[in-house]
Structure formats: C-alpha cells, structure tokens
Structure 1
C-alpha cells in the first residue's frame, strides 16, 4: 500500500500505488479518516427515485435525512480549502407531472445546517439521454425530455482551492481566427455597460473559460468497461457517470497527489480518472460485484483470461495490487 494513503481497520478489495477501493459502508470509512484530510469528495449518490433500483436508491421522503448523514462527515473530513461535488439527477413527484424539489432541498439543508457554501452550481447536460419519464414525455407528451442533472460544488470555506485555467475549453473556430488576426474580426469598444474590453480578445490564453453548463454525453455503449462486463458475464453498474464529469472537477479543484474520495464508488470512474491525473484516491462501495468489476477499468489492455481470473479472485476477497503506469492501465 502507498504509505500516503489513510489506513483503515479493513483491507481494500484492490489497490494501486495511488489509491484503494473498499467494499464498505462509507459512513464507517469516513469516521476513520482524520479530520481536514480530504481535498475533494467527488460523487454521484443513488438518486431519490420513486422506483427502487438495483443500486439501492432511497425514497424521496427518506433521501435528504439519509444523505445529510454523509455530508456532515464529509464536512469534517475536508481540508479547509476542500470541496464536495455532488451530482444529483432530477425526479418527478409520484404519479404527477410535477418536479420534486429534493435536490434543491439537499442544497439548502447542507448550507443552512451543516455549514457548506455553494461555491457554484453546475448543470450537466447529457444530450444522449433517452426521453424520460415515459409517462409524461412519450405517452402523454406533456413534458420535455429530462436531460440535465444538477451538480452542486460545495465548499468548506468561501475561498476553496480552484484554478479554472486547468479546465479551459477549446476555442471555437471563430475565436481561433480572431486570435490569429484580431484587427480583421474585432474593433475594441466600450460595451453599453461602460466596460472597456480593449483588445484582450486577441490574446491566446490556451483556451476559453468554461461555463457552468457542462455538455457531456453519457453514451459508452462500446466502452471497454461494458465489453469486459459482457465478456465476464456480469451486469455493469446501471448508473455510471461519464469520466469527463469527474475529470473536469478533479482537474479544476485539486493538484497532483491531493486526496480524492468517492463515497458511492459504483464502477469507480472517479478512481480511474484520479489514477490518470496523478491524484491519490479512495473508493467506497457496498456492493462487492460492482466494485470487483470496476477493476476492469484498470485492466483494459490485459488478456481476457487474466481479467476473468482477477475478477474471480476479487469476488473471493483476495486482495489484489494493480500495478499502474499512471494512466489507469495495468502493466
């Protein structure tokens, strides 16, 4: 084990030189961590849906109390300049074409009762999301497709660690032309507000400042993770978020060797991204099959027999060390 990683009262299911994945209750694991020790908690908990899912979601009326237990501990364990990024999908009230406010109630409770600050609200737009809910969108045709998740960036202080220059977006073709020949496309002038933007638009800063609307498709039908799940004959985790989502916040809010924790690890997308970005990581997940299968993300270039053997050993609780090349791949 990497000596820089925290030590718990149980062994991880598998670990790399940068991180470790545990089949465990996150509340128990969080209690064991030192206060002020985590730089970022990046997670997507089971959503508060009306229909029970395989991955263990709660009913809406229970959800806020349940999630507040985790958030209270997260607040204690974050470094003073640390962040808690929470991806929450929307939901409708049971049997009605009216939206639930649970994700907004979560935000207000975390800030009012625990002490978090809302550093910024983000909205993850998934253009590949299928039309839902079926009753209101497909059948009765009285609502538009729900394709945006709220992503709350919460912080322990008003001044959390952050560097937007690490997540600059690629310039548009028009902007590239402007930078190449500013005088041909833009004449400096004052805006109606009186703000003088001068000739700053002609400067190449390496990219444009991203907005808080993150357009990231969650379509990985041909991903190696899914292919390997099928090859091994197991069900993939049904509620995965795309790697680009945690990647954005990990780059934005942390530095190499910082500690990132996913308290609802699922298929360990967060840990895999951390591995490639040089961050230390911890993943906690209660369902062993999902966490065992998450090792596929670190073994994508390996022979299928080796992958099957590793999965079988993990299901038998044989601890595995995954030697990584720093890019989330096994040697």
Structure 2
C-alpha cells in the first residue's frame, strides 16, 4: 500500500522509501511521465545526521544504483537536477573525490543512458565554517561555501528555455539600450562585435550557471533571475522559518534553496508538467511547484519532516492547502 500522507489539487506527499517505491510498486505508474526530478539527496558526510545518510563506498553504491530508476521515470525530454555538497576524508584535511565518483557513476551507468548537460555552482556565504576541525580549530583550510548542482538528462536536447529565467540587465546595458549606440568592431580578443547585435531589448540577459544566494559585496550589484531572488533560503522573512520559530520547531538542517528550485522549474518545465522529489525533507520542491502551477510528487521517510511540510503549505500565498489523507 502506498502511504499518501497529504495532497493538494496539484500534488501529493508520500511517506516511505522513495527508491524502493519507485523501483517497485510505483514504477509502472510513473515510467516515462516525469518531466523534472529535482532533489538534494543526503550528502556523503562522515558523521551520521538526523535526516539519514550513508558513508563512503555504501553511499557510492546507493547513489549510482539510482541512475536506471531515475532514467526510467523521466520523459524523453525530461531532466534530473541534483544538488550535492563536497565530502572530506575521515579525520583528514583532504577533500574526498566521492561526489565526483557519484557523478561519473551516475552518467556512465550502462542501464541509464544519462549525460551531464551542465554544472551549476550554488554559493552561499552564510554557510557555517566547514569542515570545522580543519577550518576553525586547526585553521588549515578555508570555508567550504558552495554546493554543486548537476543538470542531467536522457538526451542531448532536454526541454529548456533560458528566456524564461532571464536576469536583469546591468546598468551599463540599460544605458546602451536607451542610447541605441555603442562601439562596434573587432576587439583585442578577436571577437567581431556587430553594429546592431546588442541593441535589441530581450527583457534581460541570459542567466549564469553561478548562483550567489546572498550579496557578498554591497557595492556590487548582484543580478540573479527573479525566480532565484524571490526565494532566499536564509531569509528571515521566509514564511516557513518564521512559523518554525513561532512553533519552536527545529527546521530541517539541509533544506534546498527555494530560489534554486524555482529557477529549474521555470527553466526546464511548463505549467502542469510533473515534478518529483525523491528526498523532499520539508518539501521545498512541492511548495515551489505548487506556486508555479506544476503537478508534483514528493517522498520522505521521516514523519517529522512531512509534518514540517504542512507548515510550508499553510502559507496564505498558496491557493490549495494540504489535505490530510485517511489511512
């Protein structure tokens, strides 16, 4: 029996081991129907965390074994987006290659036919100093302040439209568009700049594959797509975090950035597409999908985190609240 704990008009939260369910009872139902899988699986950490994580070779096997499962779920033009942090060798100030081995194993799996479309970097200057032993105690290493985001697909041309995730023009570009005039011609780099190539207003500039979740330099303008700026993972105004404080609940310790989720949903899917998160935690993915009018399905093994998802969905900005299902 599939244990659907809550659902809305657009999606559902399922309690249970997603890998077992998606390779078993739910495999036939969802095969070839998921437009986007977006998730942040438990990181390969040296210390066991409350939200659950494997270590070393166990983690590598667990991670790689997901490749054919995810490949079967995706539509032919669907995408898999995974956020993963760095790992360190146990009791050594040496960075592990485990996350890279996971990537290579995933895209080289003989039964999956996956490939890396592009890598993104998510930089968060608010991350606590890590690994603490080698950063704050022995002071041998610098702060590990970013995560990798891998965009993977079944073919070379997955559905994508970067015009839906444009970032604001710089002030100099806005001025150029207003003047309709600039210095054309050949540059020292040997690029030949045409006389009209930069005069069309496309509504913004193409997004970069680097996300700076918080502004590092107040004197420098940060230009992120609106989808990223509209939802900061560390914002004190975040509805979920405010409600957790009011209810004296400890928030999930490894939440995905809502801005990241928004970006890839808008970039890689259309309204009413199906989005799936196999390790949903407090269900940022479902929340973002609901706001952007996508169908969604989230899986979580810990009941405490499923209940935290209810906090997200009590947000008055959502049109369709979570409804508890009868067992």
TM-score band by shorter chain is 0.7 to 0.9
**Aligned equivalent of 1:26:** 18
1:207 aligns with 2:199: no
Partners of 1:65 and 1:101 lie apart in 2 by: 14
1:161 aligns with 2:193: no
Partners of 2:284 and 2:170 lie apart in 1 by: 29
User: Larger helix proportion, structure 1 or 2?
Assistant: 1
**Aligned equivalent of 2:36:** 40
**Aligned equivalent of 1:277:** 292
Shift of 1:79: 0.4
Shift of 1:255: 0.6
Superposed CA RMSD in Å reads 1.9
Q: Deviations over 1:38-68 (max 9, x none)?
A: 0000000110000111000111221111122
1:245 aligns with 2:237: no
**Conserved 8 A contact 1:246-1:273:** yes
Partners of 2:153 and 2:44 lie apart in 1 by: 23
Shift of 1:111: 1.3
Partners of 1:46 and 1:131 lie apart in 2 by: 19
1:273 alignment partner, SS class: helix
User: 1:290 is matched with which residue: 295, 305, 325?
Assistant: 305
1:16 aligns with 2:16: no
**Aligned equivalent of 2:53:** 57
User: 2:175 is matched with which residue: 148, 163, 177?
Assistant: 177
1:12 alignment partner, SS class: strand
| Aligned pairs, number | 298
Partners of 1:22 and 1:210 lie apart in 2 by: 34
1:13 alignment partner, SS class: strand
Superposed, 1:87-106 pairs within 5 Å as: 87-106=83-102
Taking structure 1 as the reference length, the TM-score comes to 0.85
**Aligned equivalent of 1:5:** none
Structure 1 unaligned blocks of 5 or more:
1-8, 321-331
**Aligned equivalent of 2:222:** none
Shift of 1:289: 1.1
**Aligned equivalent of 1:144:** 142
Taking structure 2 as the reference length, the TM-score comes to 0.86
**Aligned equivalent of 1:326:** none
**Aligned equivalent of 1:125:** 123
Shift of 1:170: 1.1
Partners of 2:99 and 2:56 lie apart in 1 by: 10
**Conserved 8 A contact 1:103-1:150:** no
**Aligned equivalent of 1:189:** 185
**Aligned equivalent of 1:328:** none
1:135 aligns with 2:150: no
